[in-house]
Amino acid sequence: MIFFNEMPGPACCHRQTLDIIFEKRSIPLKMKYSIYIILFIGVLSCSQPTNESNIPADFTTYELSQFYENEKILGGDFSTDDKNLLITSKKTGIYNVFGIAVDGSGITQLTTSEVESYFAVGYFPNDSRILYSSDQGGNENNHLFVFGEGRTKDITPQEGSKNHFFGWSRDDKSLYIRSNGRDSRFFDLNKLTISQLNDEVIIGETLYQNNNGFSMGAISANERFVALVENITTSVSNMHIYDRDSQKFAKISQGEDDSSEFPQYFSNDSMELYYLTNEGSEFTYLMKYNPESEERVKVYETNWDVMYAFHSYNEKYRVVGVNEEARTAIHIFELSTGKEVALPEIDGGDIISASISRSEKLIRLTVGSAKSSNNLYVYNFETGELRQLTNTLNPEINSDHLVEAQAVRFKSFDGTEIPAIYYQPHLASSKNRVPGLIWVHGGPGGQSRRTYFELIQYLVNEGYAILAVNNRGSSGYGKSFNRMDDLKHGEGDLQDCVEGKKFFESTGVVDMEKVGIIGGSYGGYMVMAALAFQPEEFDVGVNIFGVTNWLRTLKSVPPHWESFRKALYEELGDPGTEDSVRLIKISPLFHASNVTKPLMVLQGANDVRVLQVESDEIVEAVRANGVPVEYVIFDDEGHGFRKKENELEGYGKIREFLDKYLKGIAKDVEQTD
């Protein structure tokens, strides 16, 4: 879905990380905005929690600032000569671009922004210049910038436009950009010649003018074919190929009403399109299609969703990412033999993403876990040498003091099995019961995953048990489960979160008199829905950038969402029709008089997805009930956090709020101004 793209938690960096990935390959909409979660209930569990404490001998609690001394890194694209990796790092407190020497000799800061976050895109193919992306204050209007020889140039300067890098031409003379500069509603595919990027005025060529509202998927190396997606709903789509020679469209989808197709890439000879589909299956798999012969061949399938796939530069390898039990499983195949390539075993985490150098000799491996921030490794296919390039965990933190993310299941009110992720504090036991928090991911259609997130580990370290519920409608568990909440939001999905309390009770270590609910974006909506429609179920709520008025949110979607506005309305309802009756019914703002439990709301002033006025109104309405409300507005943030200082402030205040109202220091207090 499109309200809050997250990986482990509500930080805008995760949205930006996904944007960078998705600019290069199409991902299903409801898979695209988040990923997986954990759960359990009496019948089935991937990992049975214990009700006895298992406290490390030297266990200690850490300050939030110590968690933010971990270096957060994103990406890792090779330079053409295999000597460097280009990454995004939050080492300076805001995202900047860095280069890391592949031989391990050091890291170099390339951009020095102190205001806006800069996100690495890639090195130029034939020189040392870099391409990076940035918006303004979280407004999501990304521009592309060229940096080199001490100079920076915006190559997409049109005011108000949103732009995405779409790849280099095969001859390395041009780059492709998706841009809505011509029409704010639709993204055209433009081509800029590298040689003209230093010109005062850059005039690009439009390869595909998007008048249909399609989403861009892939372009063939010979620039003849453009693969496009027509979004029917957020979980159903049709795929088309536009032939630039004949100027004709060909619908590739075979007409199944509940299936989706998403282009990934063309083969180097432009004769095969690789795409994802779930036609005839619960799970998404990889296919290839020949535009001339119309032949289709299944390439890769498993009992989980394939999230993405790509070929290495000269097609020696195929990389496939699979959404497997709340984490990404990477599979690499040698195309000449079809055999899977064995990757090295690395202690302390899973390989969660990869990038192969142009020479196809080296592969960058990103390794991480719920207990440790991501690190980068480089592996040499030919020599078998593995080199660790980063060590991001703050040396003051012992990862043994953090907790594993346990994939669990529980039964909901109607017997549906709900997956979730459980974090049990070391301090928790049957003799020392701790407060519990139901965590709700963004979306709708998102997924909580077993990856590292500072706020979760911080709260668990302080003695809060957390159950991240992948309620019905979440991605990663098959298309039937994914669609169970369509036009039913605030109903079964909310009840799944309430039923998560029974899982807490089954652990024997959670104080059932102290259970709260917390979430970001769509998860923030679920927090407000819980407090408004199930007012006695939770003791507190923390709403982070959450929707409270679906009528306003759906009417005010940004122009560049036009290509899937209809798809969005198909899932949630059209505010301009009789659906508005139901949207009012499920919008917490119109039922705020029911809220009786302490509430905290965090909001970005520049949020274009959930406008500040929504949070202003819900805060005013709940305060009118005489209920304690903490309200924190961040003037320089959009839909989520990018700045370290704001995360420290916001997440620190969340902990203070929970200590005060959930741990029981003060249950009955005066209203907060």
> Is residue 132 within 8 Å of residue 142, measured between CB atoms?
no
At 488 the pLDDT is 93
pLDDT digits (tens, 9 = 90+) for 302-344: 999 999 999 999 999 999 999 999 899 999 999 999 999 999 9
At 229 the pLDDT is 94
Q: Residue 198 — pLDDT band, cuts 50, 70, 90? A: confident
Q: Residue 528 — pLDDT band, cuts 50, 70, 90? A: very high
**Whether pLDDT at 641 is above 60:** yes
Q: Which amino acid is at 273?
A: L
**Whether pLDDT at 28 is above 70:** no
At 38 the pLDDT is 27
Please choose, from the candidates 631, 662, 473, 451, the residue with its C-alpha nearest in 3D space to the C-alpha of residue 545: 631
Q: Residue 503 — pLDDT band, cuts 50, 70, 90? A: very high
Please choose, from the candidates 157, 11, 24, the residue with its C-alpha nearest in 3D space to the C-alpha of residue 95: 11
**Whether pLDDT at 33 is above 80:** no
**Whether pLDDT at 452 is above 70:** yes
Pick the residue with more confidence: 567 or 68? 68
In angstroms, the Cα distances linking 63 to 66, 211, 372, 532, 651 are: 5, 52, 16, 33, 11
The answer, yes or no, to whether the previous bond of 444 is cis (omega within 30 of 0) is yes
**Whether pLDDT at 367 is above 80:** yes
At 236 the pLDDT is 85
Structure tokens at 633: 């507005």
Q: Residue 35 — pLDDT band, cuts 50, 70, 90? A: very low
- Percent of the chain predicted with pLDDT > 70: 90
At 291 the pLDDT is 93
Give mean pLDDT, residues 384-412.
Answer: 95
> Is residue 284 within 8 Å of residue 276, measured between CB atoms?
yes
Tell me how far the alpha carbon of residue 514 is from its chain's centroid: 30
Give the dihedral sign, CA 58/59/64/70.
positive
Q: CB count, 10 Å around CB of 629?
A: 21
pLDDT digits (tens, 9 = 90+) for 344-364: 999 878 999 999 999 999 999
**Whether pLDDT at 40 is above 60:** no
Looking at 3.30.365.10, 3.40.1280.10, 2.120.10.30, 3.20.20.80, the CATH number of the domain 71-202 comes to 2.120.10.30
> Is residue 227 within 8 Å of residue 221, measured between CB atoms?
no
Pick the residue with more confidence: 149 or 633? 633
Q: Residue 549 — pLDDT band, cuts 50, 70, 90? A: very high
Beta strand 237-243 with 305-311 is unpaired
Which residues sit opposite 97 in a β-bridge? 88
Residue 195: exposed, middle, or buried by beta-carbon count in 10 A (0-12, 13-18, 19+)? exposed
Q: Which range has the worst mean pLDDT, 309-313, 490-494, 499-503, 661-665?
A: 661-665
Pick the residue with more confidence: 181 or 201? 181
**Residue given tokens 């195309």 in the structure block:** 335
DSSP character string of 258-301: T--EEEEEE-TTS--EEEEE-TTSSS-EEEEE-TTT--EEEEE-
Q: Which range has the worst mean pLDDT, 117-126, 156-165, 492-501, 659-668?
A: 659-668
**Residue given tokens 């372009």 in the structure block:** 219
At 132 the pLDDT is 98
Give mean pLDDT, residues 613-627.
Answer: 97
**Residue given tokens 């898979």 in the structure block:** 31
**Whether pLDDT at 499 is above 60:** yes
Indicate left, alpha or beta for 532 from its phi (over 0: left) and psi (-120 to 50: alpha): alpha
Q: Which range has the worst mean pLDDT, 49-58, 232-241, 266-275?
A: 49-58
Q: Residue 84 — pLDDT band, cuts 50, 70, 90? A: very high
Q: How confident is the prediction for the chain on average, in pLDDT?
A: 89
What residues does each domain of the chain span?
A: 12-66+397-661, 71-202
**12-66+397-661: CATH topology:** Rossmann fold (3.40.50)
Structure tokens at 615: 């949070």
User: Which residues does 527 contact at the CB level (< 8 Å), separation at least 6?
Assistant: 440, 517, 518, 519, 541, 542, 543, 546
Give mean pLDDT, residues 143-160.
Answer: 93
Q: Residue 192 — pLDDT band, cuts 50, 70, 90? A: very high
Give mean pLDDT, residues 89-98.
Answer: 94
CA distance 533 to 122: 47
CA distance 562 to 548: 22
Q: Residue 254 — pLDDT band, cuts 50, 70, 90? A: confident
Q: CB count, 10 Å around CB of 246?
A: 9
Q: Residue 539 — pLDDT band, cuts 50, 70, 90? A: very high
Q: Residue 571 — pLDDT band, cuts 50, 70, 90? A: confident
Q: Residue 48 — pLDDT band, cuts 50, 70, 90? A: low
Q: Residue 52 — pLDDT band, cuts 50, 70, 90? A: low
Q: CB count, 10 Å around CB of 415?
A: 6
Give mean pLDDT, residues 622-626.
Answer: 98
User: Which residues does 190 contact at the CB level (< 8 Å), separation at least 6?
Assistant: 176, 177, 178, 179, 204, 205, 206, 207
User: What is the three-class DSSP state of 501?
Assistant: helix
Please choose, from the candidates 477, 520, 517, the residue with its C-alpha nearest in 3D space to the C-alpha of residue 638: 520
CA distance 276 to 293: 19
Give mean pLDDT, residues 121-136.
Answer: 95
First to last CA, the chain: 34
User: Which residues does 395 contact at the CB level (< 8 Å), separation at least 6?
Assistant: none
**Whether pLDDT at 31 is above 50:** no
Give the dihedral sign, CA 385/390/395/397.
negative
